[in-house]
A = this chain, B = another copy of it.
């Protein structure tokens, strides 16, 4: 429970963590952070670059990757591997936002889902495994409604 009397947004937390880690502010990183905050699911670096070029503030591809690396190192974003040759990134939400991914192998659609029973199974399992587990990732592959005819 917060002592500040309000719930910290992801952007606020990101700014705080970055500042504490000795980073200065910058327009490119700010643009990437704002875009990630507006998304409910994972984007690739190229999708991020394209979205930003179209928008208010273009950001070079190198900066997109650098920002994503920094944010990942600080556990503000996480990688999502969907088997589609490119890595996806999404923000890490501390309260409530935890989810996993459904991937349509025909059209490439990526959708989020969450399931409590699954999380409980993972938590119990994590205690019995020869690894100190910090994260987990679950991807379900199949065909979506529009592709039910392979």
Contacts and interface: CB of A to CB of B under 8 A. Distances in A.
A52 interface: no
Contact of A140 (B102, B126, B144): B126
B135 A141 contact: yes
Chain A interface residue bracket vs B: 35 or more
A62 interface: no
Contact of A141 (B82, B87, B136, B140): B136
A83 interface: yes
5 contacts: A131-B140, A132-B148, A133-B142, A134-B143, A136-B139
Interface in A87-108: 87, 102, 104-105
Contact of A117 (B113, B125, B131, B132): B125
Contacts of A81: 81-83, 139
